[in-house]
Amino acid sequence: MYTHDRAIILNDLANSYAVEMRYTKAIERYREALALYIKLAKSKPVDYSIHIAHVFSNLAIIHLNLEKIKEAEEFYQNSLRMHRALVKHNYNKYAIELASCLVDGVHYLKQHTWTLYEAEWIVKKIRGDYQAEKLIKIIYKLRRR
């Protein structure tokens, strides 16, 4: 089996474990998938960086659910760094992902709300997109809290 296929299978399995709230198993599979994605990213960084960012985000959510805030914050920051790097590579393709990551940080990890202004700025540049419209509503709702 190819490394790419194995990484996808492990990630999907981790997603299933996370939905079932079997967090220990989910963390194990995400870490295995992450190791494979990192290996793959050495030769094709652009192709696999988004997968790495998503695994970091998923690990952040799990650690948040386990009330391990410090670990959740570390995984979130790693995800945010990956998203920022991807936006530098291809703004149009990855901007909505970055905005979503910023919103998640405020919503779930209680990041400072000033990041919502950055997310809003990004989203307003790509108005008309369904995800962008959905995010703008979430941003306004979070600001009112």
Domains of the chain, residue spans: 1-82, 90-145
The CA angle 26-83-38, to the nearest 5 degrees, is: 55
Q: Which pLDDT band, with edges at 50, 70 and 90, does 60 fall under? A: very high
pLDDT for residue 110: 85
Q: What's domain 1-82's superfamily in CATH?
A: Tetratricopeptide repeat domain (1.25.40.10)
SS3 letters across the chain: CCHHHHHHHHHHHHHHHHHCCCHHHHHHHHHHHHHHHHHHHCCCHHHHHHHHHHHHHHHHHHHHHCCCHHHHHHHHHHHHHHHHHHHHHCHHHHHHHHHHHHHHHHHHHCCCCHHHHHHHHHHHHCCCCHHHHHHHHHHHHHHHC
pLDDT over 80 (residue 22): yes
Separation between Cα atoms, residue 145 and residue 136, nearest integer Å: 15
Closest C-alpha to 51, from 107, 110, 3, 104:
3
pLDDT for residue 50: 96
pLDDT in tens, 100-137: 999 999 998 888 889 999 999 999 888 778 888 899 99
pLDDT for residue 137: 92
Against a cut of 0.85, is the pTM above it? yes
pLDDT over 80 (residue 98): yes
